Structure 1
Amino acid sequence: MAYVIVILWLFPMLYMFLSSFKFESQVAVPSLTFTPTLDNYRAVVTPEFFKYLSNSVQITFGTVIVSAVLGVLAAYALVYSGIKKANSIYFWFITTIFLPAVAVITPIYILLAKAHLLDTKLALILLNTGAGIPLMIWMCTTYFKEIPGEIIEAATIDGCSKAGTFFKIMLPLVKNGIISSALLVFVVTWNEFFFAVTATATQSATLPVYMSKFMTQQGFFWGKMSAAGTMVVIVPILIGFFTYKSFVKGLTAGSVKG
């Protein structure tokens, strides 16, 4: 059963990869026998593509860094600082994850226009951070709760300050959890399309927006879209490959055991 699920999950990506080497007339034909061509990649990999790639990299890493720093600090505070109604604050953050973007895009667009932030990387970093921080809080709170309170008590008795306890003891213990959470934020931000296509025009658009350029009034250029899609998914796949050990430890065993 597990193999069937894996095959079903990988089939769309495999089909996209194969379609990227087909002529447009061959994409709609589900066949493994075809004459491969690099025409789609030649059409996709242009100076414009690298501009969109640069935007995606800057926006995604900016979002991950800000979300990780603020999310980890907020999760730690909610668990250990004794804030009143910490559970209510925590659940408020969680509920924002399920808020559909289309429900808030109008006021957000107006605010960005008033602040002259439309079509800027800062705007997308702020918007994506709004989704990334709740995700970090959601996951990191769980990791912090898994740490026995006796560890903090022992650090306090040994004369360790609150800052020292956080940086020298707590962060190393939840390292794998933070990495796995940051990877999820990375994937969500890298693939984000709605805010990118709504709040940008030409200067700060990302790779998913670039892919949509191959959907025209003349039709969908599936071969070129497949080539662009293949190149887009390479980055998260490579990052996941090199960090999968920490990712699996963070999601399964927990950072205390990792």
Structure 2
Amino acid sequence: MSDVTTTATIPPQRTVATTSTTSIFSVIQRITPGAAAWVIALLLFFPIFWMTITAFKTEQQAYTSSLFFTPTLESFKEVLARGNYFAFAWNSIQIAVGVTVVCLILAVPCAYSMAFFPTKRTQKVLLWMLSTKMMPSVGVLVPIYLLWKNTGLLDSVSGLVIVYALINLPIAVWMSFTYFAEIPRDILEAGRIDGASTWQEIVHLLMPMSVPGLASTSLLLVILSWNEAFWSINLSSSNAAPLTVFIASYSSPEGLFWAKLSAASLLAVGPIMILGWLSQKQLVRGLTFGAVK
């Protein structure tokens, strides 16, 4: 009887050990993605954190890595006194809004045509448009600079809007095409049967159903336009200079003024960071629009 009893008690012990091991692995599998996400988020956020604390240091303190110091607004006062921050900010706003409007006006009809009236060359055209983003900007700097100089677009808001719009138009078309491709064609066909014109289909049927996607596209265009530095530094000097030029002005042959540079950078990226934080739900919703059927 004792042998039978001993043999009967062994399987439950193995089962318990197997169950505990499985539960440990399941816990690890649940924790690992979250931990990895936190590590990546901290690594991405660290430069912003360091820029923020450096902005509240003096120039002498900025060269030290200490996290303990007496905060000061000295750098912000000098930055605001040295340059007209609000003029640079106003130029950035005009450029970002102008680029967004121009890109949407051109991208929506283009994406509508490709999504609902595709041809054999539609995919090739989309790939070609996307391939233009792979071309280095410096490769076309000289011809564009000469064209803008001869046409009077150099150091003008309209000149920067045109360049930024040409750069970001492929992204706008691709994103709009992706959103429009998820909309049932039957809805547009029903409107067409009721006598709706092409313009009425786009405005009254298509755009209301793709508001999340178009909103996320607009936000992305604003962010890309706000952060563009290469073209603004090379095609503007004073009249149309946005905040990226404002930041670059604190790099001089005498050296980098880290505290003032950090203060200027914080003033420049602060508005767009706040906008992104307030609209993160809409941005995520738009970027995942149509991902799950």
**TM-score bin, normalised by smaller chain:** over 0.9
Q: Within the alignment, does 1:95 sit opposite 2:127 as a pair?
A: no
Could you say what the CA RMSD is over the residues aligned between the two structures, in angstroms?
1.8
User: Which one of 75, 89, 93 corresponds to residue 40 of structure 1?
Assistant: 75
Report sequence identity in percent: 35
Q: Work out whether residues 24 and 223 of structure 1, in 8 Å CA contact, stay in contact via their aligned partners in 2.
A: yes
Q: Work out whether residues 143 and 174 of structure 1, in 8 Å CA contact, stay in contact via their aligned partners in 2.
A: yes
Q: Work out whether residues 232 and 242 of structure 2, in 8 Å CA contact, stay in contact via their aligned partners in 1.
A: yes
Q: Within the alignment, does 1:167 sit opposite 2:177 as a pair?
A: no
Aligned match of 1:202: 238
Letter in structure 2 aligned against 1:132: N
Structure 1 residues 74-83 or 181-190, which shifts more?
Answer: 74-83
Larger Rg over CA atoms: 2
Aligned match of 2:254: 218
5+ residue gaps in structure 1?
A: none
Q: 4+ runs of 1 displaced by more than 6 Å?
A: none
User: Which one of 126, 131, 141 corresponds to residue 167 of structure 2?
Assistant: 131
Shift of 1:254: 3.0
Q: Work out whether residues 74 and 137 of structure 1, in 8 Å CA contact, stay in contact via their aligned partners in 2.
A: yes
Shift of 1:83: 5.3
Aligned match of 2:14: none
Q: Within the alignment, does 1:5 sit opposite 2:37 as a pair?
A: no
1:99-114 → structure 2 map (5 Å cutoff)? 99-114=135-150
Q: Within the alignment, does 1:25 sit opposite 2:60 as a pair?
A: yes
Q: Within the alignment, does 1:152 sit opposite 2:188 as a pair?
A: yes
User: Which one of 281, 286, 292 corresponds to residue 245 of structure 1?
Assistant: 281
Letter in structure 2 aligned against 1:182: S
Aligned match of 1:51: 87
Shift of 1:151: 2.1
5+ residue gaps in structure 2?
A: 1-35
Letter in structure 1 aligned against 2:249: K
Separation (CA, whole Å) in 2 of partners of 1:90 and 1:111 = 27
SS of the equivalent of 2:152 reads coil
Q: Work out whether residues 63 and 128 of structure 1, in 8 Å CA contact, stay in contact via their aligned partners in 2.
A: yes
Number of equivalenced pairs = 257
Q: Work out whether residues 173 and 256 of structure 1, in 8 Å CA contact, stay in contact via their aligned partners in 2.
A: no
Separation (CA, whole Å) in 2 of partners of 1:206 and 1:255 = 36
Q: Work out whether residues 247 and 268 of structure 2, in 8 Å CA contact, stay in contact via their aligned partners in 1.
A: no
Separation (CA, whole Å) in 1 of partners of 2:88 and 2:197 = 45
Superposed CA deviations along residues 204-250 of structure 1, whole A, max 9, x for unmatched, are 11111111111111110010111111111111122122222221111
Distance 1:2 1:84, change over 3 A: closer
Q: Normalising by structure 1, report the TM-score.
A: 0.94
Q: Within the alignment, does 1:184 sit opposite 2:220 as a pair?
A: yes
Shift of 1:155: 2.5
Separation (CA, whole Å) in 1 of partners of 2:122 and 2:54 = 50
Q: Within the alignment, does 1:140 sit opposite 2:176 as a pair?
A: yes
Q: Normalising by structure 2, report the TM-score.
A: 0.83
